[in-house]
């Protein structure tokens, strides 16, 4: 189904998926999850028009890349060569730059009632990144869950860190501060004033960042979280409105963002309108050799899987 046409003339398609009590809409623009219904209740933030996604989005439902999250100074060194990226968040490079994967039209590689695979080819030099990268994202509805499979290949050494940036509101009330969250993480990544990790893996015990036991979002820290958690082999759960979402992933971390910076003017949603659990490698890993590597080399295929299950 056609969703609109970009000024470039590119057509954007909307794909509908269905399985049991789940329904989803996926756009080829940004590989966006526009809606995800659980028994008729939409649990993700979405926008009405293609123009809205171009002008009013805060990465709603999109796949962000080539590198999700921040890279300090918009620079990194790989194999002795320094690469300069677009700086679009203070002094940092964020979510792939000015025209990241969230603003590109992906092609439909395969599609059936329950699943769609989208492909994007990012050329050498795209937003400053080396190597032509082929990325595939597959959305599948299965067993009361949305499963996201990522696959990446490159023609030259590069760094890559893909994630989905859906904002969840399980109750549909427009404020997630009463959502109860548990994250299986004994450590998180403290950040500096530019929101760049300091490099420390800090214990959560005894701090407002401890979600090893369930806590409401607004219970501590004024509800304002935008930090990466070091997962301990499990995942995360969110409960609100009589619904629980279980998040599992093969990735080493998850960025927990509570949407407190949504302003309600530039977007249809106000502060705390939705929360994100962006499964990923750590921010600024290309400049932090102690973090798990995000380097991808030719001849190697990187895959990862994240599942959002509703009970």
287 is in an annotated binding site: no
Rounded distance, CA 75 to CA 84, Å?
Answer: 5
Q: Looking at 93, 95, 165, 227, which residue is catalytic?
A: 165
Closest CA to 279 of 306, 309, 239, 310: 306
Task: Supply the DSSP symbol for 138.
Answer: E
- Tokens representing 74? 């918009």
Can you point out the beta strands (E) in 114-225?
115-122, 133-142, 145-154, 158-159, 163-164, 180-183, 187-188, 202-203, 215-216
166 is in an annotated binding site: yes
Rounded distance, CA 36 to CA 8, Å?
Answer: 28
**Residue 165 annotated among the catalytic residues of the structure:** yes
Rounded distance, CA 109 to CA 26, Å?
Answer: 14
167 is in an annotated binding site: yes
102 is in an annotated binding site: no
Q: Enumerate residues 6+ apart whose C-beta is below 8 A from 7.
A: none
- Tokens representing 26? 């996926």
**Residue 187 annotated among the catalytic residues of the structure:** no
Q: Looking at 13, 251, 278, 281, which residue is catalytic?
A: 278
Q: Is 79 exposed, middle or buried (0-12, 13-18, 19+ CB in 10 A)?
A: exposed
Rounded distance, CA 234 to CA 222, Å?
Answer: 26
186 is in an annotated binding site: no
| CB 211 within 8 Å of CB 182 | yes
Q: Is 221 helix (H, G, I), strand (E, B) or coil?
A: helix
Annotated binding site for beta-D-galactose: 69-70, 165-167, 226
Annotated binding site: 69-70, 165-167, 226
Active site residues: 165, 278
């Amino acid at each position: 189904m056609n969703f609109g046409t970009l000024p470039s003339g590119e057509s954007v398609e909307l794909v509908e998926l269905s399985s049991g009590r789940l329904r989803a809409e996926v756009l080829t623009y940004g590989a966006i999850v526009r809606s995800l219904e659980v028994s008729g209740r939409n649990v993700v933030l979405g926008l009405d028009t293609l123009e809205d996604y171009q002008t009013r989005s805060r990465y709603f439902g999109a796949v962000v890349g080539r590198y999700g999250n921040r890279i300090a100074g918009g620079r990194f060194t790989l194999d002795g060569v320094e690469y300069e990226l677009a700086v679009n968040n203070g002094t940092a490079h964020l979510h792939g730059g000015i025209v990241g994967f969230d603003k590109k039209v992906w092609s439909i590689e395969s599609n059936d009632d329950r699943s769609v695979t989208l492909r994007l080819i990012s050329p050498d030099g795209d937003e400053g990144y080396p190597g032509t990268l082929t990325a595939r994202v597959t959305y599948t509805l299965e067993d009361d869950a949305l499963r996201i499979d990522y696959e990446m290949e490159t023609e030259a050494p590069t760094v890559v860190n893909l994630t989905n940036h859906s904002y969840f509101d399980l109750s549909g009330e427009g404020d997630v501060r009463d959502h109860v969250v548990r994250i299986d993480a004994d450590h998180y990544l403290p950040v500096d004033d530019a929101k760049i990790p300091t490099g420390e893996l800090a214990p959560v015990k005894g701090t407002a960042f401890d979600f090893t036991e369930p806590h409401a979002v607004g219970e501590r820290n004024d509800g304002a979280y935008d930090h990466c958690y070091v997962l301990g082999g499990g995942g995360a759960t969110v409960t609100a409105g009589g619904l629980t979402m279980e998040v599992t992933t093969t990735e080493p971390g998850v960025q927990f963002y509570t949407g407190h910076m949504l302003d309600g003017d530039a977007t249809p949603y106000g502060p705390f309108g939705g929360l994100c659990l962006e499964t990923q490698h750590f921010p600024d890993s290309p400049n932090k050799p102690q973090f798990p590597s995000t380097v991808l080399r030719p001849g190697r295929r990187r895959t990862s899987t994240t599942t959002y299950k509703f009970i």
